[in-house]
Amino acid sequence: MERKLVSPVVIDDVQPIEGADLIEVATVKGWKLVTKKGEFKTGDHAVYCEIDSFLPVKEEFEFLRKSSYRKMGEQEGFRLKTMKMRGQISQGLLLPIGLLDGYTYQLGEDVSARLGVIKYEPPIPAALGGIAKGLFPSFMPKTDEERIQNLSADYEQFRHHTFYVTEKLDGSSVTFYFNEGNFGVCSRNLDLEESAENSFWKVAIKEQIAEKLAATGKNLAIQGELIGEGVQGNPYGLRGQTVKFFNAYDIDERMYFGLNEFKAMIASLGLQTVPILDLNYTLPASLDELLTIADGASVLSPQGKSVEREGLVIRSTDRKISFKVISNKFLLNER
């Protein structure tokens, strides 16, 4: 599901920040945002821009220049990141609803295009870019999980379920598929031409993934995270590159494998899963507590070094519910 980077929202709550006279904290869904004191009140409509939004260079956004100016390729703009002000985490930006200039909006509607906002994408190393032979195939889903803050309305219902928890690794997502006799390798958004220079294809060849998937006799996709040298600064201190998997997908049945079937499939292929941290997990009392739990050291931290994990991915064993919980500590240190 594509992210709604910018949408009209109702402000759920506004509270003071201890020791701060000029700013306060607003809550929208599960997100906390620092705003000017008195600018918004509970129940107001506003325009919410998520973190990773890349706002265009326009007069109404110039107040962001000092803190948020970036270039994405040759394009100039303002990137929204997680920040901390007076000890308060702030994730995104609230703008007056008047910015929509009289447009008749629906709450939750994606108005990114109307405001010229796109998603910020960090530079891709040449070895990961590859040559596209097409867009990501439509016969399988992309790997993006929804953030728990955007599912805050369902949190109490989720607390009645049992989940398994995996570590979200800081790498680059990859999908390998075998469908109707054809093998393919995909980055997050593209189906890639085979290339001896591309890191995803190098791993596919090294691990003989095409042959292994073909041998199952099924139309399958497996999805994982490429980590190691040349990927996100190699925080895990690995030599070479490897993929650890988090999904197996039956293309014909159009469904993900449940936990036990997924583990069995990855093991049968001689591959490794991402770190599985808990097989019988229930959510804590509040979303804020869950966000705190997401902070912590990676299981893959090199010996003698503690690497902050990117966060957690939480899924029901039948795969009907899944979401990610990104560590705020990780986001505050994000490049």
By CB neighbour count within 10 A (0-12 exposed, 13-18 middle, 19+ buried), where does 77 fall? buried
Of 62, 93, 119, the one marking the end of a domain is 119
Q: pLDDT of 269-316, one tens digit each?
A: 999 999 999 999 999 999 999 999 999 999 999 988 999 999 999 999
The verdict on 53 and 84 lying in the same domain is: yes
Chain position carrying tokens 């000092």: 66
pLDDT of residue 268: 97
Number of domains in the chain: 2
Residue 166, number of CB atoms within 10 A of its CB: 20
1 located within any domain: no
The verdict on 205 and 165 lying in the same domain is: yes
The verdict on 163 and 277 lying in the same domain is: yes
Measure Cα distances from 155 to 230, 271, 278, 292, 323 in Å: 37, 33, 19, 15, 11
pLDDT of residue 131: 86
pLDDT of residue 334: 80
The verdict on 114 and 133 lying in the same domain is: no
Comparing C-alpha atoms, which of 20, 135, 117, 113 is closest to residue 61? 117
Of 91, 119, 147, the one marking the end of a domain is 119
What range defines the domain where residue 288 resides? 126-332
Chain position carrying tokens 């996709």: 221
pLDDT of residue 1: 54
What is the CATH classification number for the domain harbouring 230? 3.30.470.30
* pLDDT beneath 50, residues of the chain: none
pLDDT of residue 286: 95
211 located within any domain: yes
pLDDT of residue 130: 81
Of 119, 138, 169, the one marking the end of a domain is 119
pTM value is: 0.90
Rounded-to-integer distance, Cα 92 and Cα 6, Å: 10
The verdict on 186 and 153 lying in the same domain is: yes
